[in-house]
Amino acid sequence: MKVDLLIENFIFHCKYEKNLTEKTIKAYSSDFQQLKEFKNFFELDISQVDKVLLKEYIRYLYSFNLKPKSIKRKVAVLKAFFNYLEFEEIIEINPFRKMRISIKEDNNLPKIIEMKNIKKLLRYVYCSKNNFASKESFSYKSIIRDIAVLELLFSTGLRVSEVSNLKITDIDLFSGYIKVMGKGNKERTIHVCEQESKNILKEYFSLFKSDIENKKYFFINRLGRRFSEQSITLMIRKYQNKAKVNQHLTPHMFRHSFATMLLEEGVDIRYIQGMLGHASISTTQIYTHINNKKQKKILSSKHPRRNLSFS
Count of C-beta atoms within a 10 Å radius of residue 35? 19
Q: Is 183 a catalytic residue?
A: yes
Whether 31 and 153 share a structural domain: no
User: By residue range, what is the domain housing residue 30?
Assistant: 3-98
Whether 137 and 213 share a structural domain: yes
| C-alpha triplet 5, 186, 108: angle, nearest 5° | 85
pLDDT tens sequence across 124-167: 999 999 998 888 888 999 999 999 999 999 999 999 999 999 99
CATH number at residue 204: 1.10.443.10
Count of C-beta atoms within a 10 Å radius of residue 227? 24
Q: Of 73, 79, 202, 252, which is the active-site residue? A: 252
C-alpha–C-alpha distance, residues 141 and 133, integer Å = 12
Q: Is 303 a catalytic residue?
A: no
Whether 233 and 93 share a structural domain: no
Whether 57 and 166 share a structural domain: no
Q: Of 159, 215, 226, 256, which is the active-site residue? A: 159
Is position 303 within any domain? no
Whether 18 and 165 share a structural domain: no
Q: Of 28, 204, 217, 287, which is the active-site residue? A: 287
Q: Is 62 a catalytic residue?
A: no
Q: Of 198, 226, 255, 256, which is the active-site residue? A: 255
CATH number at residue 65: 1.10.150.130
Q: In the listed set 69, 98, 127, which residue is the last one of a domain according to the structure? A: 98
- pTM for the model stands at 0.74
pLDDT tens sequence across 229-239: 999 999 999 99
C-alpha–C-alpha distance, residues 123 and 236, integer Å = 14
Is position 310 within any domain? no
The DSSP H or E segment spanning 190 is: strand 187-191
pLDDT tens sequence across 210-231: 889 888 899 999 888 999 999 9
Q: Of 183, 186, 217, 270, which is the active-site residue? A: 183
Whether 127 and 276 share a structural domain: yes
C-alpha–C-alpha distance, residues 89 and 84, integer Å = 9
Can you say how many angstroms the Cα of residue 298 is from the centroid of all Cα atoms in its chain?
A: 30
Is position 254 within any domain? yes
Is position 146 within any domain? yes
Q: Is 226 a catalytic residue?
A: no
Question: Domain total for the chain?
Answer: 2
pLDDT of the chain along its 311 residues, tens only? 899 999 999 999 999 998 888 888 999 999 998 898 898 899 999 999 999 999 999 999 989 888 888 899 999 999 999 999 999 999 998 999 888 888 877 667 788 999 999 999 999 999 999 998 888 888 999 999 999 999 999 999 999 999 999 999 999 999 899 999 888 778 899 999 899 999 999 999 999 998 898 888 999 998 889 999 999 999 999 999 999 999 999 999 999 999 998 988 888 889 999 999 888 888 888 887 765 556 667 667 776 767 776 65
